[in-house]
Structure formats: C-alpha cells, structure tokens
Chains A and B, each alone.
Chain A
Amino acid sequence: MKKQNELPNSKQSSWVSFLLVLAFLALVFYLDQIIKPTNKMYMLMTVLQKGSVYALAAVSMNLLNGYTGLFSLGHAGFMLIGAYTYAIFTIPSSARDTVYQYFDAAIRFSFPEAFSNVMGPAGTALGVLVAVILAGLLAAFFAYLIGLPVLRLKSDYLAIATLGFAEIIRAVFQWQKLGPITNGSNLLKSFARTSKFKLEVGDTKLVLSTFVPVLIATVSIIIIVKLVNSTYGRAFKAIRDDEVAAEAMGINLARHKMISFTVSSFFAGVSGAMMAMVLSIAQASNFKSAMTYEILLMVVLGGIGSTSGSVIGSFLFVAASEWWLRGLDSGTFLGINAPGVFRNGFRLVVFSIIIMIVVLFFRKGIMGEREISDLFRSRKKKAKGAAQ
C-alpha cells in the first residue's frame, strides 16, 4: 500500500527516455548524412530544423505562460536579442565589412574565429556554443531589467506591457544610430550557419546542418523539463493555481516569477540564435509580434502546461505550414490540380480552418496538461487494475 505513492520504476523509465532521446538524435544524425539538399525529402530536414527552433521557443514560452501562469507576449523580442547577439558575434572578420556596408562595424570580434585561432576546428564549434549561450544570457539580462517593473502586473496587463517591450526592442535594433552594432534596418548575414556545419573525420565530411539545431533544442528542452519537475517547477505551478495560497506556503512570489521569466527568456534567446543559424540571416523586421502569436498558437495547440504538447504542436505547425499544405499555394494538392483555387494564400485559409477544428475538438490542446510519459503510465495502471 505504501509503495503506491512512489513512481513505478521511475529510475528505469528515466533510463528508457534517455535512450529514446539518444536514438532520436542518432536517427537525425543519420538522416543528415543521407538526405542531401537536392533530395525531394529534404523538406523533412527543413521541418526538423525549423521545428526544433520553434519547439524550443514554444517550450520556453510554455514555462512562463503554462506553468507559471504569467501571460507574457514578449517572446519575439527576446528571440530577436538572441538572434542578433549570435549573429554579431559569429561574423568572421573577412565578411564584416561587406555585411556592415553602410556603417563602420563597432564590434570586431567573432567567437568561432577567436577560438579556432587557438584550438583549431574544435574551437569553431566551441565559439558557436559560446555565442549561443551569450545570446541566451543577454536575452535573460534584458528580461531581468524588464521584469523588475513589469512582473508586478497581472494577466492581460502583463501581456500588453511585455508586448510593448518586445516592439520597443525591435524598434531600437532597427535604429540607424545603432547601425555600427546592429547594422540598422539592414540584415545581418555571413555568420556561422547550420548549412556550413560539418565534421571532418579524415577525408569524409559529415553534415551537421540538422543535427546541431536538433541537439541544442533537445538539450535545452531537457533542462527546462528538469526545472519544471524540480521544487521550483512545483512552486511555479502553485503560483499559477493560487498566488495567495502559494504565498501562504512561504513561496516568494516576486523571486519565483523572476526566475521563470528570465529562464524562459534565456531559452527564447537561444531559440532566436538557432533561428538565425538555420535561416542564415538575422533581421529585426522578422521578429514581429506575429511571431509571438505563432508561438503562442503552437503552445495552445499542443496544450498549455504540457511540454510534450508544445513540442508536438510546433512540429505539426511547422510541418503543415512548410511542407504538407504547400501544395495549396502552388496549384497541386493531394493530386488535385486546380490552379484557380490553390493560389497564394489559400493555404492560410485551410490552415485556419484546421486550427479551429483542432481547438473545437481538443479544448485543452492536443495533449491537455499531460505529457507523453503520462499516457504510458495511465495505460500501465489500467492494465494493472484489470489484472487484479
């Protein structure tokens, strides 16, 4: 009877999930080698790349909106900070003057270059990693500054305030006076990007263009899951359910809200850096509030308060909009050739209808508040109950 309160074989199940993650990474690595950009199936790789960017963005937004109950809409702003930080600090010196063609570049430093001068090829990878982490840290730092005044607000007021800050960040990055750093409203390019990521073993070149973003997203999401399942995560959920009761339990509201906000923004910054390296350009005008809404949509579709839901939601969203429904815009869909109907924009009509249907039939998103592991557990329990 007493054992009932403990997770059944939680150690064993964490090993199983660890092995599953490893197998998934190995599969992505393998696919990276066999599917070349000229292949028809390369769409799958694009979906994996963009999907992992959005998955991390959605999971980090879910940490804030779903688990802590802070309705914030500033995600695009923090992703922008991440994308620019990453881009600025990985542009090689040879390309810098062509990128900053109208300005005199102020930051003449590139992490991959600096590290590879010392450590060789391994330094390039380390430099990219450092730039990604710095991207997250800067986003988290800005989140901290913004959070000081803004986190006192609740629900819709918080949403409006964070939305406003995201727009301000975008405007500041496009400001001509900051041109020497941000290149004004011009785009940043030529920095370290996934399409160039390769691993040289002897004579063979191993492609890493999908593996790297998937790996970064996986590691980051695992960290967020660990946080959610820790005492901190439990405190976040308590704050979401009832602030007064949480405070009465001794939970420091301001501190926990700030932790959730900065951690969420850190990973938003990381996903912004990933977006830059996947798209191989960074431009402030891409990070509009529409991007925040897109991510919010993925979170809602997957289920607010479910990490696996956010991941599933974002991959489905990216796959549908980039791949499966593409035909609706270009004339032929599912073998039906109707260029009159399947024109530019029709995809969005169908997409909106699908989203409405999903929301109608899955009120709490695809996963609700469950995780994939919960599905297996409840099934096991049912099987046990039937056996008794």
Chain B
Amino acid sequence: MLEVKDLHVSYGGIRALRGVNLEVPDSKIVTLIGANGAGKSTLLRTISGLVKAESGSVTYNGKELIGMPINKILEQGIAMVPEGRRVFTNLTVQENLKIGAYLRKDKAGIQKDIEWVYELFPRLQERSWQMAGTLSGGEQQMLAVGRALMSRPKLMMMDEPSLGLAPLVVKGIFEIIREINRQGVTVLLIEQNANMALKTADLAYVLETGEITLHGTGAELLSNEAVKRAYLGE
C-alpha cells in the first residue's frame, strides 16, 4: 500500500501541495481528479522522486520514499507513465520498451515481458521496428504504458493517459488499464476526464489547489453533487 501523509511541496515559492493525505491500497484502481494546476502531476512526480518534497512522508509498504533516489523508487516497483506520453521519438518501439526495463538485468525475463506487452498491445508488435515518433498519439500512449510495464511494476502511476486522444481511443486505453489491474498491478490514475476515470476507479480523490477536498469510492463521487457541478459538467 502506498500512503501519502501530510505532504507539502513547493515550486519556486508557489506551494503546489499543502498537506496531502492519500492512500492507494494494493490491487485497486485509484484515481485523482482535479482542475489544471491543482497539483495532481506534482503529487505523482513527488512520489516517483522527480520532485523534492518540503515535508511530509510517502511510504510504500512501510518504506519511506522521500529522499530515495529515483532508481531505488523504481526498484520498489513503482513506475510512472509521464504526462504527454514522452516516448523516445528517435528510438524504435522495441528500444523504447527495452529502456523501460533499464534497471533490470534478467535478459530472459525482459524478452518475456516484451512479448507480454505485445500481447496487451498487438499494434505495438506490428510497429516494433518503427521509430516511436512516427506512431499516432494513441499508439504512443500505448507505448508509454507498455514502457512503464517493462519495469514489472506493482504500482503504476499514470498522468492523464487520455490527454489529446479521440474518445474511442480513450475507451481503449481505459480498457487496458482495467486489464492491467486484473493482472495484479495497482493503478494510480490522474485524469481530467473525470467521467471515465470515476467509472473505472475503485477509489477516488478530488484535489483542489493542493489539498484533498473529497474522497470516496468511484461510484460515490460520480453521484456527488459538487463533483457533478465542477468536473462532470452537469
């Protein structure tokens, strides 16, 4: 279980997170919704070690992650799909996947997991020798997810996987998220597409200007009047 307790993070004088408390139980899909600038991405980047926290704690299965180098955090089994996909455009699809397994040494296991990712995303197998930059937006998102899966994570954090994708493609991505979760990976999902995210998630949190204002099950928040007004446009 991932536990965030009273987390404060500042960016050059701006307080992005002001005492965030959050729990991600194992093998659940947890979503975090909120407007632009609410601090969602900051939270993910802090958990993965890309951003330094001011105070508070982030523990995973009892181990403190704050202050741990990025590679050690990855070795704990926490992987991130960054916002805007950020695939390595001048590397082939296969090379992208291999970079995802950068910290692993077991060659046979890596090869097996590449096959596994190709099973999840047959489109990637068709394009395995293509440069990632030549893929469509949806395929790049698949690649970004596949790349994160290559580190064999127990917890996968996704930053707006539906960003800039057609509704049909978004649907496909969410199906994949559920499939990955069925295979035993915990998912922490950040979304602006609140409707989709809440329908998919077991648990949900609402983040507003650096603070958690609401939390409950996905269904609960979906029927919450305040959430409806602010995020579902009803």
Give the interface segment out of B25-33, B92-100, B183-191, B204-212. Answer: B92-100
Asked if B55 lies at the interface with its beta carbon under 8 angstroms from chain A, I say: no
Query: By the criterion CB–CB under 8 Å, are B88 and A2 in contact?
Result: no
Q: Is the CB of B48 within 8 A of A248?
A: yes
Mask of B120-149 contacts with A, CB within 8 angstroms, 1/0: 000001001000000000000000000100
Verify A244–B102 contact, CB threshold 8 A. Answer: no
- Give the contacting residue for A244; candidates B86, B94, B118; CB below 8 A: B86
A242 / chain B contacts, CB cutoff of 8 Å: 86-89
Chain A contact-residue range equals 20 to 34
Which residues of chain A come closer than 8 Å to B165, judged between CB atoms? none
In the complex, whether A241 has a CB less than 8 A from a CB of chain B is: yes
Q: A2-B115, A244-B82 are in contact. Are A369 and B90 (CB under 8 A)?
A: yes
Choice from B91, B94, B115, B118 contacting A237 with Cβ under 8 Å: B91
Which residues of B are found within 8 Å of A247, using beta-carbon distances?
50, 70
Chain A residues whose CB sits within 8 angstroms of the CB of B90 once the complex forms? 237, 240-241, 305, 369
Shortest Cβ distance from B88 into A: residue: A241
Q: Is A252 an interface residue (CB 8 A)?
A: yes
Q: Count the B residues whose beta carbon is within 8 Å of the partner chain — how many?
A: 28
The smallest C-beta distance from B101 to any residue of chain A, in angstroms, reads 9
- Interface mask (A138-176 → B, CB under 8 Å = 1, otherwise 0): 000000000000000000000000000000000000000
- A235 adjacent to B48 (CB under 8 Å): no
Is A241 a contact of B71 with CB atoms below 8 Å?
Answer: no
Q: Are A248 and B50 in contact (CB under 8 A)?
A: yes
Bound complex: CA A240 to CA B100 (Å): 15
**Smallest Cβ-Cβ distance to A241: which chain B residue:** B88
* A164 CA / B112 CA spacing, docked (Å): 49
Contact indicator B151/A250 (Cβ below 8 Å): yes
The listed residue (A5, A238, A248) touching B70 by CB distance below 8 A is A248
From B75, which residue of chain A is reached at the shortest CB distance? A250
Closest Cβ of chain B: how far from A251's Cβ, in Å? 6
CA distance A1 to B118 in the complex (A): 11
Tell me whether A248 and B82 are in contact (CB under 8 A): yes
Q: How far is the CB of A31 from chain B (nearest CB, A)?
A: 38
Query: Which B residues contact A (CB, under 8 angstroms)?
Result: 48, 50, 70-71, 74-75, 80, 82, 86-91, 94-95, 98-100, 102-103, 114-115, 118, 125, 128, 147, 151
Q: List residues of A whose CB falls within 8 A of some B CB.
A: 1-2, 4-5, 231, 234-235, 237-238, 240-242, 244-252, 305, 369
Besides A248-B80, A250-B70, 15 other A-B contacts (C-beta < 8 A): A1-B125, A4-B128, A5-B114, A234-B102, A235-B102, A237-B90, A244-B50, A244-B86, A248-B48, A248-B50, A249-B74, A249-B147, A249-B151, A251-B99, A251-B102
